Amino acid sequence: MRNATDPARMTASEAAGLIATGKMSCEELVRACLDRIASRDTAVKAWLWLEPDQVVRRARELDKLGPKGPLHGLPFGVKDVIDTAEFPTTQNSPIYDGLRVGRDAACVGVVRGNGALILGKTDTVEFASGGRKALTRNPYNAAHTPGGSSSGSGAAVGDYQVPLAFGTQTGGSHIRPASFNGIYGIKPTWGLVSREGARMSSMTLDTVGWYGRCVEDLILVGTAYRIAEDATPVSVKGLRVGLCKSPAWHAIEAGGEQALATAAARLEDAGAIVEELVLPEPFNGLIEAQNIIVNAEGASSFLPEYTNAYGILAPDLRAKVENAIGTTPEQLVAAYSLADSCRPVFDSLFGPTLDVILTPSSPGEAPVGLHTTGNAIFNRMWTLLHVPNVGIPACFGPAGLPVGVTLVGKRYSDARLMAIAKAVAPVIDTFAAERERRLFA
Amino acid sequence: MRNATDPARMTASEAAGLIATGKMSCEELVRACLDRIASRDTAVKAWLWLEPDQVVRRARELDKLGPKGPLHGLPFGVKDVIDTAEFPTTQNSPIYDGLRVGRDAACVGVVRGNGALILGKTDTVEFASGGRKALTRNPYNAAHTPGGSSSGSGAAVGDYQVPLAFGTQTGGSHIRPASFNGIYGIKPTWGLVSREGARMSSMTLDTVGWYGRCVEDLILVGTAYRIAEDATPVSVKGLRVGLCKSPAWHAIEAGGEQALATAAARLEDAGAIVEELVLPEPFNGLIEAQNIIVNAEGASSFLPEYTNAYGILAPDLRAKVENAIGTTPEQLVAAYSLADSCRPVFDSLFGPTLDVILTPSSPGEAPVGLHTTGNAIFNRMWTLLHVPNVGIPACFGPAGLPVGVTLVGKRYSDARLMAIAKAVAPVIDTFAAERERRLFA
């Protein structure tokens, strides 16, 4: 066992195996995570709420109870727009400072029922939507953003502070931080994992996802949601990969181009059949449609804060309530209709000539500064299409920061997509050991 | 002022006028509601949680503060699947007995910010979805159901216990109880009122609505959500009404047929042009599509309880998690696609030859017994189409219970639909005084 000396360096799957066979306790694992956090929190600032004594007590309880499910004792970070029974949920907003709801969000309840240990709440863009940014920094270079809005979850998993964490995505809030922090992430098909108890910003777009440091860990969590069972063997040799530069290609940067080219070349070297895939013309309108929908649906989502806390609601969120961009009902209906008509067309692309799509996760590496979380332009279309995405690390870019790529499947093919990701990840991601070396240097 | 001697008999609009001009206090109004509840609760059983002392204190605070908004001092009942800051939210489930989340659902926060007084929590079908029924009885005849799942909210408004209340609808849970309790109800266009903090059962279908005892009251509340302003005059004379028996007509009963015929005849007498409208053939599949979607989306919605409280989760909700009806991804996608394709077709029906659709609210009167809440078959299609509905009382049926009809508009025409409803309600609903007389006999 490579990392047996430091449980914090283990993947969730490795740790689960040791816990299940009695070779490691839940307490040992969580103490290792807490030690890592203690040594790194000043630099990374991933956590909004952490009660070390309480989580150690809970780990001891889990050790006494014995295995409750396949996630027994595995620590999860939870983006602070997602409710947890034991911690406050502030949404990184002064409006909800210290608020404890005493009830788990659906996604949290499911993993807790499978034995997971909720470690703490991670920093986030306010409401996962606008207003305040997280204070979190990129674990590879504190001058850079970790991405967002799932800033703390992405950085905490990337920095080996916790093996698993929840994020949410409305535009590119989940898959982009996976790219910037050198980790794996899944955004499942819309509706397959309940988003109840995660702050609502857009009914049509909001999706809960999770991060891990390998595909096996994404699958392990997916099993709890009953969306990860696919026993059909996947061979990279002969795998039909559609290379989709996407309608956002004009925004690509050197790091993103390098990541996509690297992943494609490695897949071809391993025997995959990689061919460029150009989506039908109507898909070019989806990025703007996503913008129309997220703004229009935000009007009702943020009306409660607009009504009760106008003075401390961020101007960009007030603007949604006021429909500052002036969307008409006709424009909104057209945006919905475009997405509605593209979804089945997209699904129909898959078949004998296409197994999976490979596309950028972000324009490039994480940009400098904490005033931005980067550009979601490569993620927004997929979110609107409701299709599953898996983010996989591909390479270090020119600035020495990690960059990832995204695998995309059709709706409800999550289990198949994860099985494909498990097969191609060792081919694409050849620099995991180097990531670990840099972060523990 | 007809009802000046008993504030509980006033509409919300009447009460708001008296409070605004200092002729009545918030305390007087809420005490009248509490008195009515005290005298009737044994018979009707509408409330799951009520703290009279606390709400009187809050009413006094509102009297001291002075007007905070157009809903100042108006009492609201809240279906117990909707979160409120001060009361428990049990969802009528033993799993959440006594749970207080300390945070308002979005719909509650908006009315509270406009001065509303949250009176208490109303009984509901468990999770608004399955399992336990409410204990609530029909205010006109205790041997009959008040409908559901918004059982307590419908009965409490119908019985003059509270002027306004929130319900939710996934199939027919809001408009059907309006019909059975002789009251007005609106189910707005999907997405126009945030459903956050109302128990999720189906992402695509769940919609929050409210009840009142006249259209003016629905509009008053709608103003708080910014969806009710339409100053264009509406004349019943010349109004183009499409009489839609709907694909569910095979389920119609004597009371429902009488209600629809009565409403149509009165509108024609008043100069409206009423013509039968048969929806295009694909619409015949929408009722089954709604069934497929509510079952499939329920799988993720109820997985937390399935995981953590299997033994006390109702068998019909376990069946959703287990996909007992065996829906395939292809069937689910086909159901979504059918709805997606019908929505714009439906919207396009409106124009010079069609102002509004008139359709049944329920098969007929409330059935006997509390083991059923009646049949949602006349509501399910409209819920799936995401279109606004306004329920209007039409007549007493053969069993002496009220029956209503539904007005339907296109998406985002809520303000226009309420304006039309305001014009046609006095024409259709000629038995309001008789309803009041019976309930106060």
The one-letter code for the residue type at A77 is G
Q: Cα–Cα distance between B33 and A212 in angstroms, integer?
A: 54
B226 interfacial to chain A (CB closer than 8 Å):
yes
Asked whether the whole model's pTM tops 0.80, one would answer yes
User: What CATH number matches the domain at A7-279+345-439, 3.40.50.11260, 3.30.70.1280, 1.10.1060.10, 3.90.1300.10?
Assistant: 3.90.1300.10
- Judged against a pLDDT cut of 60, whether residue A220 lies above it is answered with yes
A206 interfacial to chain B (CB closer than 8 Å):
no
- Nearest chain B Cα distance for residue A208, angstroms: 12
B96 interfacial to chain A (CB closer than 8 Å):
yes
pLDDT tens digit sequence for A47-89 = 999 999 999 999 999 999 988 899 999 999 999 999 999 999 9
A179 catalytic per annotation: no
Q: Do B341 and A344 touch (CB under 8 A)?
A: no
Q: Cα–Cα distance between B255 and B257 in angstroms, integer?
A: 5
Q: Cα–Cα distance between A392 and A397 in angstroms, integer?
A: 14
Q: What's the Cα-to-Cα distance from B33 to each of B57, B117, B177, B221, rounded to whole Å?
A: 14, 12, 20, 19
pLDDT band at B1 (very low <50, low <70, confident <90, very high): very low
B113 interfacial to chain A (CB closer than 8 Å):
yes
| Count of CB atoms situated within 10 Å of the CB of B99 | 16
In this complex, which of B103, B195, B300 lies closest to A101 when CB atoms are compared? B103
B110 interfacial to chain A (CB closer than 8 Å):
yes
User: Which residues 295-324 on chain B approach chain A with CB closer than 8 angstroms?
Assistant: 296-297, 299-301, 303-304, 307-308
A121 interfacial to chain B (CB closer than 8 Å):
no
Residue B127, CB half-sphere, CA atoms under 13 Å: how many? 21
pLDDT band at A263 (very low <50, low <70, confident <90, very high): very high
From chain A, the residues in CB contact with B100 under 8 A are 102
Q: What's the Cα-to-Cα distance from B227 to each of A48, B114, B347, B425, rounded to whole Å?
A: 37, 15, 18, 19
- Judged against a pLDDT cut of 90, whether residue A348 lies above it is answered with yes
* DSSP single-letter state for residue A391: E
pLDDT band at B163 (very low <50, low <70, confident <90, very high): very high
pLDDT tens digit sequence for A286-336 = 999 999 999 999 999 999 999 999 999 999 999 999 999 999 999 999 999
In this complex, which of A114, A224, A307 lies closest to B113 when CB atoms are compared? A307
ipTM: 0.97
**Average pLDDT taken over every residue of chain B:** 97
pLDDT tens digit sequence for B313-333 = 999 999 999 999 999 999 999
Q: Which residues pair with A409 in a beta bridge?
A: none
Encoding tokens for residue A73?
């004792």
Whether the link from the prior residue into B202 is cis, omega within 30° of 0, is no
A102 interfacial to chain B (CB closer than 8 Å):
yes
pLDDT of residue A4: 52
Render the burial of B345-365: b for 16+ CB within 10 Å, e for the rest: ebbeebeeebbbbbbbbbbbb
Q: Do A337 and B336 touch (CB under 8 A)?
A: no
Q: Do B300 and A225 touch (CB under 8 A)?
A: yes
B200 interfacial to chain A (CB closer than 8 Å):
yes
**Which one is catalytic: A13, A93, A129, A149?**
A149
Residues 6+ apart with CB under 8 A from A27: A56, A59, A60, A63
**Which one is catalytic: A79, A133, A187, A410?**
A79
Whether the Cβ atoms of residue A279 and residue A318 lie closer than 8 Å to each other: no
pLDDT of residue B419: 98
Q: In what order do the strands lie in the sheet with A389-396?
A: A47-50, A117-122, A75-79, A164-169, A207-212, A184-187, A389-396, A402-408, A356-360, A240-243, A273-276
pLDDT of residue B66: 86
In this complex, which of B96, B102, B332 lies closest to A100 when CB atoms are compared? B102
The continuous run of DSSP H or E covering B50 comes out as: strand B47-50
Three-state DSSP at B103 gives: coil
Q: Cα–Cα distance between A439 and A390 in angstroms, integer?
A: 23
Q: Cα–Cα distance between A72 and B235 in angstroms, integer?
A: 66
Q: Do A113 and B196 touch (CB under 8 A)?
A: no
Choose among A219, A153, A160: nearest CA to A38: A160
The continuous run of DSSP H or E covering B153 comes out as: helix B151-158
* DSSP single-letter state for residue A122: E
Encoding tokens for residue A209?
């996802």
pLDDT of residue A404: 98
Long-range CB contacts for residues B229-233, cutoff 8 Å, separation at least 24? B229/B415, B230/B415, B230/B416, B230/B418, B230/B419, B232/B416, B232/B419
- Nearest chain A Cα distance for residue B45, angstroms: 27
**Average pLDDT taken over every residue of chain A:** 97
Render the burial of B81-98: b for 16+ CB within 10 Å, e for the rest: bbbbeebbbbbbbebbee
Chain B interface test: which of A110, A189, A307, A345 (most B C-beta within 10 Å): A307
In this complex, which of B192, B297, B343 lies closest to A300 when CB atoms are compared? B192
Residues 6+ apart with CB under 8 A from A348: none
Q: What angle (nearest 5°) sits at the alpha carbon of residue A366, between those of residues A362 and A371? A: 115
